[in-house]
Structure 1
Amino acid sequence: MSRNPLLEQVRSSFQRSRSLNAGPSLQPNRVISEIQNRLERELATAKEQAIATFEGLAIHTDLPSSSPSNSESSSDQKEEEEMAANEFMGDLDIPTIPASPSSILLPTAARNYELKSSHLNMLPSFYGLPNEDPLTHIKDIFNAVSSFPLTGVTEDQLRMRVFPYTLKDKAKYWLNSLKPSSLTTWGAIQKKFLEKYFSTQKTDMLRDKILLFAQQDDESFCEAWERFNGLLNQCPHHGIPLKLQMRMFYKGLTPSSHNIVTNFAGGSYKTKTPEETYELFEEIAMETQHTDTRGKRIAGGSNDSSSVQISKLEQKLDALLALNSRNPSKEVCSICETHDHPTISCPLGAAYPEFVQEQAKLVNSYNRGPINDPYSQSYNPGWRNHPNFLWRNTQNQANPSSLQRPQQS
């Protein structure tokens, strides 16, 4: 039976100390401290040897080392050193692409799903424009994916697969700018998309339209009810309870629509619950959708229309006054053809007395006004000898015999 050398050393040291303690001149505390120090050194040496032996066995048997973090860090450090050794200055001009540049991390079942061209043609498109409705786009994706065959995938996984194909232009650029592999579920994609394109200002605007709803002039009850429900669908997160919704809708109706509600309710609608009030409005909308009953507001609608008509009449009156206030066009001199003076006052009138006399006659006849002769302002007796107003053939006057019939033989 082999003995432990460490125990043998401790036993021999203890026996030596006993023999030494037999003498009166030695101090027992000093001997004990020396033994304790020696034992601590022996234990530390034995521990280091045991660790070295265990690491050697792990290397030969491919067992995990006692410090896995150190080994992993050393392997990463080696890879970095190798990459640094292979770097060149031209690498700064080449862009680096991550292993998975897409922001959507698809599961294996979704990646293996085969998308056909007929599936892609059924998908909606979103360009990221201000007039587009992101909530409607999400609903269209739900409707399109519900018609796809499910072969080993869920609808959420299929929506994740087709979502990048629905984005165009600015919206597609936004999706590519997100962190790679940051979206792992359809809920995360939907939330990120609505946070980007369904702004807080749009939510506040739609909520204000619901709270301040008013039936328009010449709008039937059915049209007003459809428009109100459309506002609720455009902002499903409005947070307005059903009781307040019914109150806001009834408050915005015209007096004629109030009478319709009272007749259908058989009295006041205030005795009904919010659910019963909703059913009442639905019934009224169904009954009045094919009628042409349209009510106008007494307080604001008629006054607004009359004010618009008055403003238009004022504009027309101003235009007529502006036409009447224009300066009359000045007479053009028939001799000089200028606007500086009339024909009668022309300084060259002495050389052309006939023009001056004719102009004076016209002015006098215009100032005298109408006489008994109805043609006094349009007929000039002096024109009766004008060659253009004669009925005789002046061109053949030199040869009057040409107009005579030849004599019979």
Structure 2
Amino acid sequence: RSNKRLVPNIVEPKIRTIEETVPMADRTMEEILQEPTKGYGEAIVILEILAENFEIKTNLLQLVQTNKFHGFERDNPHTHISNFKRMATTLKYRDVPNDAIKLMLFLYSIEGAARIWYEKKPPNSILTWDDLVNKFVNQFFPPSKTTHLKNEISRFTQRFEDTSGEAWEHFKEMLRACPHHGFSELNQIDTFYNGLNEQDQDSLNAAAGGNLLSKTTREALKIIEKNHKFVIQEANRMFLG
């Protein structure tokens, strides 16, 4: 088997070998400056695809392109990677590793600051899917951001205008925003409970038959979720009259 490597064409879902591109030494400086990210200069390296007649379907490309990551402050790279993987796994082809498919498709899923980040990566510097994920996440979700969000979670306090149900939704959103928060279920329940106002703490304690924290984590979560549903139902009933 050949050890040749392939690089994806950014414009079209077509695979080309490095040998098919014009050698860097034979290109003028003007050509190199005009096309700094094409062919030889790609950061992502894809190993040779052995399957015949392999192609990426247009509808999958369109799906990926409608769910782009821009690199805005509110964008979560963990969420993007998770959604992207779900889309990429819909394409299965014999003798084609799914990681290779993900590497081919990934460039279609980013733009703006995220695309600029990629364009600055050195040629042939991303060799595997895991390598790409690590570099991407570290750029747009650095350890300092994780630390900040973990501190926000640990300081959770129910907002004045929130019902206990709304407070629970807000707390869960905080957890989702920081996938690697490291809080156990026990710590999550304890933090949420102690962040509630006294009235809503009493309500949960009553639902628990005395003290929420005397329950197991599984029992406590069921009580909190049941209380959440009840609060929503009551709010809807009052709204509809």
Q: TM-score, normalised by structure 2?
A: 0.74
Q: CA deviation at 1:168?
A: 1.2
Whether 2:141 is the aligned partner of 1:198: answer yes
- Per the TM alignment, residue 283 of structure 1 is displaced from its structure 2 partner at its CA by 2.4
1:151-183 Cα distance to aligned partner (Å, 9 max, x none): 123433322121011111332122122122222
CA–CA separation in structure 1 for the residues paired with 2:92 and 2:216: 43
Please tell me whether residue 151 in structure 1 is matched to residue 93 in structure 2. yes
Amino acid at match of 2:157: A
- Report the RMSD for the aligned CA atoms in angstroms: 2.8
Q: For residues 204 and 242 of structure 1, what CA distance do their matches in structure 2 show?
A: 19
Change (3 A) 1:289 1:104: same
Question: Which segments of 5 or more consecutive residues in structure 1 lack a partner in the other structure?
Answer: 1-85, 294-409
Structure-2 change in CA distance of 1:143 and 1:92 (3 Å): closer
Counterpart in 1 of 2:176? 233
Name 1:218's counterpart in structure 2.
161
Q: Percent identity?
A: 26
Q: Residue 115 of structure 2: which of 157, 168, 172 is its match?
A: 172
Conserved? CA contact 1:110–1:157, under 8 Å = no
Work out which of the residue numbers 180, 191, 207 in structure 2 matches 1:264: 207
Return closer, same or farther for 1:262/1:110 CA change in 2, 3 Å cut-off. Answer: farther
Aligned with 2:233: secondary structure?
Answer: coil
Q: Indicate if the aligned counterparts of 2:190 and 2:213 stay in contact, CA closer than 8 A.
A: no
Match of 1:95 among 26, 32, 44: 32
Residue identity in the other structure for 1:114: E
Give the structure, 1 or 2, with the largest relative contact order (CA under 8 Å, sep 6 or more). 2
Kept in 1, the 8 Å contact 2:153–2:171? The answer is: yes
Structure 2 match to 1:44: none
Alignment correspondent of 2:226: 283
Give the C-alpha shift of residue 195 in structure 1.
Answer: 0.6
Q: CA deviation at 1:94?
A: 5.6
SS in 2 for 1:257: helix
> 1:107 is matched with which residue: 47, 54, 62?
47
Give a deviation string over 1:321-354, Cα, whole Å, max 9, x none.
xxxxxxxxxxxxxxxxxxxxxxxxxxxxxxxxxx
Q: Amino acid of the residue matched to residue 95 of structure 1?
A: I
* Residue pair 1:145, 1:159 contacting (<8 A) in 2 also: yes
1:54-89 C-alpha deviation (Å, 9 max, x unpaired): xxxxxxxxxxxxxxxxxxxxxxxxxxxxxxxx99xx
Q: CA separation in 2, counterparts of 1:232 and 1:195?
A: 19
Q: Which amino acid aligns with 1:210?
A: I
Q: Distance in 1 between matches of 2:124 and 2:215?
A: 53
2:124 and 2:178 map into 1 onto residues whose CA distance is 30
Q: Are residues 1:244 and 2:187 paired? A: yes
Aligned counterpart, 2:63: 122
Q: Which amino acid aligns with 1:191?
A: N
- State the secondary structure of the residue aligned to 1:283: helix
Q: Quote the Cα distance in structure 2 between the aligned partners of 1:110 and 1:267.
A: 65
CA contact (8 A) 1:110 1:161 kept: no
Say if 1:103 and 1:181, in contact at 8 Å, map to a contact too: yes
How far apart, in 2, do the equivalents of 1:185 and 1:91 lie?
31
Question: What are the ranges of 5 or more consecutive residues in structure 2 without an aligned counterpart?
Answer: 1-24, 237-241
Give me the TM-score of the superposition, normalised by structure 1: 0.45
**Segments of 4+ moved more than 4 angstroms:** 90-94, 96-99
Separation in 1 of the partners of 2:203 and 2:50? 54
Look up the equivalent residue of 2:44 and give its one-letter code.
I
- Secondary structure, aligned partner of 1:95: helix
Aligned pairs for 1:3-402 within 5 A: 95=32, 100-109=40-49, 113-123=54-64, 124-146=67-89, 148-152=90-94, 153-292=96-235
How many residue pairs match? The answer is 205
Equivalent-residue separation in structure 2 for 1:92 and 1:245 (angstroms): 57
Aligned partner of residue 123 in structure 2, secondary structure = coil
Q: Is the 8 A contact 1:213 1:228 kept in 2?
A: yes
Asked if 1 retains the 8 angstrom alpha-carbon contact of 2:78 and 2:179, the reply is: no
Question: Using the alignment, how far apart are the partners of 1:246 and 1:128 within structure 2?
Answer: 32
